[in-house]
Structure 1
Amino acid sequence: MAEVQIMMWIGLVLLLIIIGYLGYLGYKKTNTVSDFSIAGESLGPVILGLAYAATFFSASTFIGYPGWAYQWGFSSIWIFLTLIIASPLGLIVVAKRARKMNMTQKSLSLADWLGDRYNSDFIRVGTALVCLFNIFYIAAQFAAGAWIFNTLLDIPYTIGLIIIAVLVVAYVYTGGSYADIYTDAAQAVLMAIMGVLVFISVFWMFPGGLTEGFTSISQTLADRDPSMVSLINPSSIVFYSVPAIIGAFIIQFAFSSQPQLFNKVLALKDPRDMRKMIMVYVFASFCFILVIFGGLFASVTVTVDEIDQAILSYVLQAFPPIVAAFLGIVVIAAAMSTTDGIFVVMSTLVANDIYRKFLVPRGYVKATQEQADRTALKISRYSVLVVGVISFILVLNPPASIGMFIWIGISGVASGTLGPLLVGLFFPNIATTSAAKISLVSGVGAYVLIIILNFEKSTMAAGAWAVLVGVFAMLVAGYMTKNKEASLDSDVRETM
């Protein structure tokens, strides 16, 4: 273990040097709020494809999801299928059309895009407030990083929490979206290597390689508990029924339009390169999520007290110390790669969507355009500090499952935004402002009600049902109001 700790510290120092340099480059390029938010729409498809994948797959992929497989067995492989099928489909459906429309809108975030699309401050500010749910997502990444410091470096959880929070806040504060995307692309390469390494460990950890190895795992788990090899495990908090599984596919589709991912789409320099960006994302994603199988391998090789420690303990047993240290660095990178993107988005919500696009134009704050732009950049950076402190406080007591904690944020955001987004893109003739307002309120309201009433124990499924409520409300309200107010039909056709 001492050898792992030494290598971990060396790797951490190297990672900090790389991140520090990339953060400095980002700082030199960040002169406006547009630079801070979407890197001035100036980046290419390869770096953005890697950054999108790294942002999409957080520390929960490398810690939380293997923990599910360790605890509930083969039913957790559904998460692998949702990530490789539903998530890319969501990106394909939304990305190209949204980026092309933004060539005329010049929006800086999801809230800004919806506000501009519907010409509504209510939608802009309402979406910005809904996106604050993602504080839970940031907090979960902090917790994952803290567990790494605790397990591999024997640093108390609280001290590890302070370290990871300070690291992320520091380089996002300085470099904004440039720092976010540059570091994410570099971290994606590390994450892909780790996913592949964990998967191929089956060849030396289990006699007979892939086929016989999985047969041996299946038999061991079946002897322990038959539900561990079932496609539906009643004990699971995620995949305990067919509706819950369907809900997981729906919410993973919706996840592709999360604000921290949407701003990567807006940052693409040439919309014609969207196909290349998606191909890079899908390839990197497949490599990442192979790590989930490590949870199954761990279920028959190690015993842990906390399910989120399963993959860490397995790697310590299956690999030499240098690889275990590498995993620690990868998980920290994964936590950073998602957290920095959400930080950028949430600071943009306050600085651009609320201050620059609402408070100043409405006259609530007196400022010239030039003054507003300078102040917005300052607010973007200060917002990072505030969000960091709140997220830190949320996980001072570590959550029972990081994998489920993040979905509080994801589901809350998706429930209010997917209806106006999808209908605005694909059914512009009924995409009225009134319908978008109704969809936003009804989707979020449904999600909160489902949680309060404990109607669904899976936050993924709860989010899925709320998303469906929001989309249905948007379609019905749009149809009923399409003749009473102007829809987006003509505007959308001009951009297609």
Structure 2
Amino acid sequence: MGETAAAAFVLQADQLGHETVIQWGWIFLAAYLILILFLGYLGYRRVEDGMGGTSAQDEYATARGGFGFLALALAYAATVASGATFMSIPGMGYDMGFMAGYYAMIYPIGIFLGALIVARVSKKVSDRFNSQSVPDLLGDRFQSPALRVITALLSLFLIFYAMAQISAAGWMFEVILGVEYVIGIWVAGLLLLIYLAAGGSHADILTDAIQGAIMIGITFLIFVMFVTGWGMDGGISSVNAALESSQQWDQHTDSDNAIFPGWWAIVLLMVAHIGFTAQPHLGNKFFAIKSNRYIRRFLLVTSLVGIFLPVMFLGGVLGAAQGIEVADPDAVIPTLFVENIHPIMAAFLGVAILSAIVSTSDGLVISISQIFANDLYRKSYVPWKGGDPEAEEVQQRALLISRISTIFIVFIAVAAVISPPQYLVVFMWTGIGGIIASFGGPYLVGTLWRRTTKHAALAATVIGFAVYFYIHLGPQFGVMEGIWPLNENPYASTGIGLIVSAVTTVVVSFVTEPPSDEHLEKVFSAEQRLIEDDTHDGAPGGISASESDD
């Protein structure tokens, strides 16, 4: 859109005022509430009726085999993008300028490379062993109950990620809906509970798929606003010229910037994100695809969408060029909308971004609930007491634990961010970095290399986390001073931890006993061969003969 049209929109926005944005924002929020209530009901019916899972609990936790490649691709990309892509990465662009583009453009390459490595085997193992989470999958892949428990406990760090999303939602409520931040985070938590406690993973994926489509439209608008120099006299060159010299596009690294001190940090940033898919709320999405024969199309679509969405960082750069003033950098995108476009459109876009934030929060909450319901109770405590984890009574109790823990997790995540953190994306990585640095190595190596052993996976998980704690997490918690910039750079620290974890996995595997051929056959064999075995042993989660590999 040209300069004249942009100016007209800005003038109209000024005339109608912020009150119009707030009024229409509540109207759009009410419409969104009706939508998620409907999707929550659909999810509830799927859980109760059964789709592809072995029980209602399995349906709640995984939505096993319930979705085609397109819906799941949009849901996966939306979950990856989260409030960080739509709030915090633009906030980094607002503060750092074009330098933030290295994060925005590199992280999706690492994430979807990691997904390419693990997706197919994750789907196979989950279906064949009835795994309901990434820690559960690792326990089954390596035949190690201890690994299942350790990785489940480490996955509790996902609560930091959930807290970051809730905080992002609070900012959206304040800027777009005129509600105080503290009230906004509680309303956001209530929105999550409305549909998650009933519909589980089915409700999660249904809402995320719709939100993924909306995200594409928002990102396209930001891209158009940037390339046209919206609200400024000129195009891209005018945006660059209006920035401070340290923010302009010829600035690549800054020795005083903990995130981008040199090219080595940028390389480690991509390495860290290769292990990103080890997070339980992403890994369990692979369980929901109908068949492995859809994996290739799923990966193609989700990668294209996922690489496009981080273009949102340009909105933060544009906001800095326009001289927009914000109380917190993470609020730059909603403020950009309010100050630059028609109030009704600004209200719609603000609520749309709020839905984008919810798209990650719901998956996180479901994944954390499965730590208690499945990983610790059904697959650890029950066998330890001599019970059958597949028993109907156990499944029903696990489903109840899932729904109750969902409520407590949301409450804790909201209460913890009453005082908002600075830079949500950095706060988020304080938690998830430990997950990637610990069992990201065994997850990736164990997918590619059949000889990976359970002792190697255990050693790598402990050592990888210890390294991450020493160089980053410990300093963040004030336990030790640490080494700059690693003590302030979660991405580089995670990248180092992941490398250590992967190397440890390989080295220890060479000196420990490999898994049995029978177990490896069940993990890695093609679906068509497995079905012949399943007709004899009735293994849970069996694959139909029509679902053969490409």
The amino acid that maps onto 2:121 is R
* Structure 1 partner of 2:493: 462
Q: Of 319, 334, 337, which aligns to 2:341?
A: 319
Q: Check 1:46–1:478 CA distance in 2 against 1; reply closer, same or farther (3 A cut).
A: same
Query: Hey, what's the Cα distance between the residues in 2 that align with 1:206 and 1:19?
Result: 33
* Structure 2 partner of 1:328: 350
Q: Check 1:446–1:4 CA distance in 2 against 1; reply closer, same or farther (3 A cut).
A: same
* Structure 2 partner of 1:233: 254
* Structure 1 partner of 2:174: 150
* Structure 1 partner of 2:535: none
Is residue 473 from structure 1 mapped to residue 504 from structure 2 by the alignment? Answer: yes
* Structure 2 partner of 1:427: 449
The amino acid that maps onto 1:19 is I
Return the TM-score normalized by structure 2: 0.85
Q: Check 1:163–1:207 CA distance in 2 against 1; reply closer, same or farther (3 A cut).
A: closer
Is residue 262 from structure 1 mapped to residue 293 from structure 2 by the alignment? Answer: no
Query: Hey, what's the Cα distance between the residues in 1 that align with 2:255 and 2:319?
Result: 21
- The alignment partner of 2:196 has SS state of helix
Is residue 14 from structure 1 mapped to residue 45 from structure 2 by the alignment? Answer: no
Q: Of 13, 35, 43, which aligns to 1:26?
A: 43
Q: Deviations over 1:127-160 (max 9, x none)?
A: 1111100000000010000011111222111111
Shift of residue 283, structure 1, vs aligned partner = 2.9
Q: Deviations over 1:357-388 (max 9, x none)?
A: 11111107799812101100000111111211
Q: Check 1:272–1:20 CA distance in 2 against 1; reply closer, same or farther (3 A cut).
A: same
Is residue 386 from structure 1 mapped to residue 403 from structure 2 by the alignment? Answer: no
Matches within 5 A, 1:331-350: 331-350=353-372
8 Å CA contact 1:191, 1:288 repeated in 2 = yes
8 Å CA contact 1:67, 1:309 repeated in 2 = yes
Shift of residue 205, structure 1, vs aligned partner = 3.5
- The alignment partner of 1:481 has SS state of coil
Query: Hey, what's the Cα distance between the residues in 2 that align with 1:326 and 1:404?
Result: 28
Query: Hey, what's the Cα distance between the residues in 2 that align with 1:102 and 1:352?
Result: 13
* Structure 1 partner of 2:532: none
Q: Check 1:493–1:263 CA distance in 2 against 1; reply closer, same or farther (3 A cut).
A: closer
The amino acid that maps onto 1:380 is S
Shift of residue 206, structure 1, vs aligned partner = 4.7
**Paired-residue identity, %:** 31
Shift of residue 476, structure 1, vs aligned partner = 1.1
Query: Hey, what's the Cα distance between the residues in 2 that align with 1:116 and 1:3?
Result: 55
Shift of residue 462, structure 1, vs aligned partner = 1.4
Q: Check 1:44–1:240 CA distance in 2 against 1; reply closer, same or farther (3 A cut).
A: same
Is residue 168 from structure 1 mapped to residue 185 from structure 2 by the alignment? Answer: no
Query: Hey, what's the Cα distance between the residues in 1 that align with 2:254 and 2:386?
Result: 54
The amino acid that maps onto 1:37 is A
The amino acid that maps onto 2:457 is A
Shift of residue 17, structure 1, vs aligned partner = 0.4
Is residue 139 from structure 1 mapped to residue 163 from structure 2 by the alignment? Answer: yes
Query: Hey, what's the Cα distance between the residues in 2 that align with 1:37 and 1:197?
Result: 35
Q: Check 1:227–1:123 CA distance in 2 against 1; reply closer, same or farther (3 A cut).
A: same
Matches within 5 A, 1:338-417: 338-363=360-385, 369-417=391-439
* Structure 1 partner of 2:206: 182
Matches within 5 A, 1:99-138: 99-138=123-162
Shift of residue 207, structure 1, vs aligned partner = 8.5
8 Å CA contact 1:136, 1:394 repeated in 2 = no
> Number of residue pairs matched?
491
Query: Hey, what's the Cα distance between the residues in 2 that align with 1:125 and 1:303?
Result: 47
The amino acid that maps onto 1:257 is A
Shift of residue 185, structure 1, vs aligned partner = 0.5
Query: Hey, what's the Cα distance between the residues in 1 that align with 2:442 and 2:319?
Result: 42
Query: Hey, what's the Cα distance between the residues in 2 that align with 1:367 and 1:71?
Result: 51
* Structure 1 partner of 2:533: none
Query: Hey, what's the Cα distance between the residues in 2 that align with 1:165 and 1:207?
Result: 35
Query: Hey, what's the Cα distance between the residues in 1 that align with 2:471 and 2:193?
Result: 33
Query: Hey, what's the Cα distance between the residues in 2 that align with 1:76 and 1:226?
Result: 9
Query: Hey, what's the Cα distance between the residues in 2 that align with 1:361 and 1:207?
Result: 63
Q: Check 1:30–1:90 CA distance in 2 against 1; reply closer, same or farther (3 A cut).
A: same
Q: Deviations over 1:253-303 (max 9, x none)?
A: 111232111111111111100111112212322442221111111111112
* Structure 2 partner of 1:58: 82
- The unaligned stretches of length 5 or more in structure 2 are 1-17, 49-55, 475-479, 528-550
Query: Hey, what's the Cα distance between the residues in 1 that align with 2:403 and 2:102?
Result: 39
Query: Hey, what's the Cα distance between the residues in 2 that align with 1:52 and 1:367?
Result: 29
Shift of residue 222, structure 1, vs aligned partner = 4.6
Q: Of 46, 63, 82, which aligns to 1:39?
A: 63
Query: Hey, what's the Cα distance between the residues in 2 that align with 1:395 and 1:66?
Result: 20
8 Å CA contact 1:218, 1:229 repeated in 2 = no
Query: Hey, what's the Cα distance between the residues in 1 that align with 2:293 and 2:229?
Result: 45
8 Å CA contact 1:72, 1:236 repeated in 2 = no
Shift of residue 23, structure 1, vs aligned partner = 0.2
8 Å CA contact 2:37, 2:195 repeated in 1 = yes
Query: Mean alpha-carbon deviation: is it higher for 318-327 or for 390-399?
Result: 318-327
8 Å CA contact 2:232, 2:238 repeated in 1 = no
The amino acid that maps onto 1:27 is Y
Query: Hey, what's the Cα distance between the residues in 1 that align with 2:248 and 2:301?
Result: 36
Q: Deviations over 1:206-237 (max 9, x none)?
A: 5899xx622222223254x3677411134544
Q: Check 1:353–1:207 CA distance in 2 against 1; reply closer, same or farther (3 A cut).
A: closer
Query: Hey, what's the Cα distance between the residues in 1 that align with 2:525 and 2:173?
Result: 52
Q: Deviations over 1:163-202 (max 9, x none)?
A: 0011112311111001000010111111111111011013
Q: Of 291, 304, 308, which aligns to 2:326?
A: 304
Query: Hey, what's the Cα distance between the residues in 1 that align with 2:112 and 2:143?
Result: 29
Query: Hey, what's the Cα distance between the residues in 1 that align with 2:112 and 2:361?
Result: 21
Larger radius of gyration: 2
